[in-house]
Amino acid sequence: MPANADAELTIDELARESGMTARNIRAHQSRGLLPPPTVRSRTGFYGPDHASRIKLIQDMQAQGFNLKAIERLLALGAGSGSERALEFERALLQPFGSEQAEAITEEELDATFGGPIDRSLLAKAERIGVLRQIGEGRWEVPSPTLLRAGGELSELGIPLKHVLAVADAINKHTSAIAREFVRLFVQDVLDPLRAEDETQETDLVAAGEALQRLRPLASEAVVASFAQVMTQAVEDQMAKESR
């Protein structure tokens, strides 16, 4: 971005600063993803809000959002290129956890599980999202914590296929839980915003605060519930064993 954050740019200057072509900038404008420039003497000038919005769009695309999804998200701040709207849109894209993915070699992966891993099991690990192959005998591990837990279960003598079955079940159940939390947020926070003729900055602030509160609440609720049901499951199993 330009050294002077308040500088006005022509479309060609904005294209150079953002790394986006002038053609794509115009296409984003036509879709409503970018507000129109200020026109003086038949020349359009773009300000810092435009540069921030382009960076946000690029971030969204890097996260895998297509332009239609980006359009829906940006519509929440429609009519306002404000910093509040941009902050809220960025908050929607923040990951819920702080854990960073790690890269691991095939040799390190084998060592984690005490020997060479069957290719069919590697394929299953990829299918359920535990591993992602990145080439040249290297893998990306989205959650090192889950991988370490799997390695420790293997050390206890539990077959890897059983470990992956548990990982698959965890993924399915937590995906269902995540969808419920997202449904609540959309239904009770975003939908009321969309129903308004014009989104106010105070509404965006309130929605952003609700999202920030939801992040720890979701994790805490899942952990608390799991502790209860796990205790009950152990007690039920012990009762069966004592019969």
Q: Mind listing the pLDDT tens digit for each residue in 221-243?
A: 999 999 999 999 999 999 998 87
For residue 232, what are its two tokens? 């009950």
- Please report the pLDDT score of residue 63 as a whole number: 66
- How far, in whole angstroms, is CA 227 from its chain's centroid? 26
Q: Mean per-residue pLDDT for 20-24? A: 91
Please report, for residues 163, 169, 171, 175, 233, the alpha-carbon distance to residue 229 in angstroms, rounded to integers and kept in the order given: 20, 15, 17, 18, 6
- Please report the pLDDT score of residue 236 as a whole number: 92
What pTM did the predictor assign? Answer: 0.63
Give the residue with greater pLDDT, 193 vs 106. 106
pLDDT tens-digit map of 79-138: 444 566 666 766 766 677 778 889 999 999 999 998 899 999 999 999 999 999 988 889
Give the CATH number of the domain where residue 64 resides. Answer: 1.10.1660.10
pLDDT tops 70 at residue 155 = yes
d(CA 226, CA 30): 48
Domain boundaries, position 66:
11-75
d(CA 38, CA 23): 18
Phi-psi region of 178 (alpha: psi -120 to 50; beta: other; left: phi over 0): alpha
pLDDT tens-digit map of 156-181: 999 999 999 999 999 999 989 988 88
Please report whether residue 125 resides in a domain: no
Give the residue with greater pLDDT, 4 vs 186. 186
d(CA 64, CA 55): 14
- Please report the pLDDT score of residue 135 as a whole number: 83
Please report whether residue 188 resides in a domain: no
Structural domain tally of the chain?
1
Confidence tier at 10 by pLDDT (50, 70, 90): very high
23-57 residues labelled b (16+ CB within 10 A) or e (exposed)? eebeebbeeebbbebeeeeeebbbbbbbbbbbbbb
Nearest Cα neighbor of 113 from 174, 63, 157, 49 is: 157
d(CA 158, CA 118): 15
Whether the CB-CB separation of 43 and 10 falls below 8 Å is answered with: yes
Please report whether residue 28 resides in a domain: yes
As to burial, measured by CB atoms within 10 angstroms (0-12 exposed, 13-18 middle, 19+ buried), residue 127 is exposed
pLDDT tens-digit map of 58-81: 877 876 677 877 777 676 655 444
Please report whether residue 34 resides in a domain: yes
Please report whether residue 97 resides in a domain: no
Q: What mean pLDDT is reported for the chain?
A: 84
Please report whether residue 40 resides in a domain: yes
Please report whether residue 185 resides in a domain: no
